[in-house]
């Protein structure tokens, strides 16, 4: 048996794949290590979605290749999206790589690790990207208090800029019973917050049950003992139903937080992207969400520099940000991915223009986000403690507590903050706060995207979010 290390790059969905591989290896008798100088075999779980992600993956592989040359690593296995998409190039052009495992081959990772150690022959396995999602107990790497729950694999949308359906296959839901069992196990292990992910969570169940089952899944997850928060990511706007809005509104455990990728504010661009919505439908949906759930926190993503995007169409993105006042927003510069329709469209935008438009959009959103953070002063919020600021180094807090040594400053998150992508709330407390505990705080100030708060006396572990 081998000592194996794994580095997972890219999105939360990819991270879950890495955790599945770790679970397979531990069940197969391999030892796990997070130290390079201990690992005999290193697995790089890659992302291949856009150019920046591919560049990061390649640089990481080359970096570990240098460690292999120095004798610190014996073997390197490349797994995940990049491995699936560029298998021929990796096998022929990267001599430091000993094996390639595609997204359909994770179940074979134990055998690949063993056989790779035996000799110098290169190996590759890809599996069936259209097969049903396999059942495997994961090794959670995120935190002992929150975890992702991947409820489906693949995508059927075929947006013109996106390669995911060709890498990951068609949309396949995980059976509801398995998700409930996994959630019970996670809660038993101490997980307090469950974050639902998929390429598109809103279509959960259509392939297995013939209808959208996300609301029913959410209701059943809310009954799992030990879970306090349930958070939704990646809900496509055209698939959000009244039933989903109602379950979010009525179930206390569901965070009033919705990640809803919109991608653009101009109808012409949305049509060329192959998106199945338009500006009017988006704005009507947002109005309805805010009417039904007044304290909802909305996150979205936009793409700038799509082929043929004019100055006027770019300004529609700017206007969308100003009018919709999204609480959280990320912007991606369009990446021309081979084998996608958009890559051959006329009017490809220069890198310089894309970067300039990206910066302008983020500057506009920064103004919106900072104003929203400032308006939070005086609100009472339920927060989940992550740990001491000095231990976590979770965010830049200079200016927030400039005169303190961080010893009594704790990092927490509100329902408005998904881990890793949103802000934090910092609490100064003379008494020790435990990771995973819930407390009520009053917001006293903001610092850029982050909030600063004080404990509300005698309100430990309240069950409801209070604003």
Looking at the structure, tell me whether residues 8 and 81 fall in a common domain. yes
Give the ranges where 240-398 is alpha helix by DSSP (H): 242-250, 267-273, 279-292, 311-324, 351-374, 389-392
Domain end residue (candidates: 96, 127, 158): 127
Residue 132 lies inside a defined structural domain of this protein: no
Please give the structure tokens belonging to residue 140: 């959670």
Looking at the structure, tell me whether residues 320 and 368 fall in a common domain. yes
Mean pLDDT of the chain: 92
Residue 407: give the domain boundaries: 380-460
Which domain CATH number covers 155? 3.80.30.20
Looking at the structure, tell me whether residues 123 and 162 fall in a common domain. no
Domain end residue (candidates: 323, 339, 372): 372
Check pLDDT > 70 for residue 467. no
Domain count, the chain: 3
Contacts 24+ apart (CB under 8 A), 276-279: 276/157, 276/236, 276/238, 277/236, 277/237, 277/238, 279/316, 279/320
Q: Which residue has the higher pLDDT, 51 or 267?
A: 267
Residue 39 lies inside a defined structural domain of this protein: yes
Looking at the structure, tell me whether residues 424 and 338 fall in a common domain. no
Mean pLDDT of 133-155: 91
Looking at the structure, tell me whether residues 201 and 114 fall in a common domain. no
Looking at the structure, tell me whether residues 357 and 433 fall in a common domain. no
Where does the pLDDT of residue 121 fall: very low under 50, low under 70, confident under 90, or very high at 90 and above?
A: confident
pLDDT at 393: 54
Where does the pLDDT of residue 351 fall: very low under 50, low under 70, confident under 90, or very high at 90 and above?
A: very high
Q: Please give the backbone phi and psi of residue 181, each rounded to the nearest 5 degrees, phi first.
A: -60, -45
Residue 135 lies inside a defined structural domain of this protein: no
- pTM of the predicted structure, to 2 decimals: 0.93
Q: Which residue has the higher pLDDT, 382 or 53?
A: 382
Residue 452 lies inside a defined structural domain of this protein: yes
Where does the pLDDT of residue 133 fall: very low under 50, low under 70, confident under 90, or very high at 90 and above?
A: confident
Looking at the structure, tell me whether residues 297 and 400 fall in a common domain. no
Residue 467 lies inside a defined structural domain of this protein: no
Looking at the structure, tell me whether residues 330 and 384 fall in a common domain. no
Domain end residue (candidates: 79, 100, 127): 127
Looking at the structure, tell me whether residues 193 and 334 fall in a common domain. yes
442-461: per-residue pLDDT in tens?
Answer: 999 999 999 999 999 855 44
Q: What is the distance of C-alpha 226 from the center of its chain?
A: 23
Which domain CATH number covers 91? 3.40.50.12160
Looking at the structure, tell me whether residues 227 and 335 fall in a common domain. yes
Residue 456 lies inside a defined structural domain of this protein: yes
Looking at the structure, tell me whether residues 401 and 332 fall in a common domain. no
Distance (Å, rounded) from C-alpha 37 to C-alpha 383?
38
Mean pLDDT of 90-94: 91
């Amino acid at each position: 048996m081998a000592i194996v290390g794994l580095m997972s790059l890219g999105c939360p969905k990819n991270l879950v794949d890495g955790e599945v591989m770790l679970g397979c290896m531990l069940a197969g008798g391999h030892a796990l290590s997070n130290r390079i100088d201990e690992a005999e075999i290193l697995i790089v779980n890659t992302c291949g979605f856009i150019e920046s992600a591919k560049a990061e993956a390649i640089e990481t592989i080359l970096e570990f290749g240098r460690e292999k040359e120095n004798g610190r690593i014996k073997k390197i296995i490349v797994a995940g999206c990049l491995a699936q998409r560029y298998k021929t190039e990796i096998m022929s052009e990267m001599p430091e790589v000993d094996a390639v495992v595609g997204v359909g081959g994770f179940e074979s990772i134990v055998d690949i690790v063993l056989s790779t150690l035996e000799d110098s022959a290169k190996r590759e396995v890809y599996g069936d990207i259209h097969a049903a999602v396999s059942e495997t107990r994961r090794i959670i790497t995120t935190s002992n208090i929150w975890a992702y729950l991947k409820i489906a694999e693949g995508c059927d949308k075929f947006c013109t800029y996106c390669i995911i359906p060709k890498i990951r296959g068609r949309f396949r839901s995980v059976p509801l019973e398995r998700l409930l069992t996994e959630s019970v196990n996670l809660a038993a292990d101490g997980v307090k917050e469950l974050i639902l992910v998929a390429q598109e969570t809103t279509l959960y169940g259509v392939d297995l049950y013939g209808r959208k089952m996300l609301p029913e899944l959410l209701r059943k997850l809310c009954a799992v003992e030990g879970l306090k928060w349930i958070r939704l990511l990646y809900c496509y706007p055209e698939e959000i139903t009244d039933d989903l809005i109602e379950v979010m509104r009525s179930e206390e455990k569901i965070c009033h937080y919705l990640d809803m990728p919109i991608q653009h504010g101009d109808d012409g661009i949305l049509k060329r992207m192959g998106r199945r919505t338009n500006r009017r439908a988006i704005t009507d949906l947002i109005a309805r969400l805010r009417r039904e759930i007044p304290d909802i926190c909305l996150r979205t993503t936009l793409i700038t520099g799509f082929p043929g995007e004019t100055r006027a169409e770019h300004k529609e993105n700017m206007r969308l940000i100003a009018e919709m006042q999204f609480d959280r927003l990320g912007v991606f510069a369009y990446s021309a991915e081979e084998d996608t329709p958009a890559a051959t469209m006329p009017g490809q935008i220069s890198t310089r223009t894309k970067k300039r438009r990206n910066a302008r959009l983020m500057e506009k959103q920064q103004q919106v986000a900072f104003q929203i953070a400032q308006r939070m002063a005086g609100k009472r919020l339920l927060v989940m403690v992550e740990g001491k600021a000095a231990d976590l180094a979770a965010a830049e807090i200079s200016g927030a507590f400039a005169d303190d040594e961080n010893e009594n400053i704790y990092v927490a998150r509100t329902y408005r903050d998904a881990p890793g992508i949103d802000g934090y709330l910092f609490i100064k407390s003379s008494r020790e706060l435990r990771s995973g505990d819930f407390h009520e705080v009053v917001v006293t100030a903001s610092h850029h995207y982050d909030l600063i708060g004080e404990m509300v006396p005698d309100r430990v572990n309240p069950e409801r979010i209070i604003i």
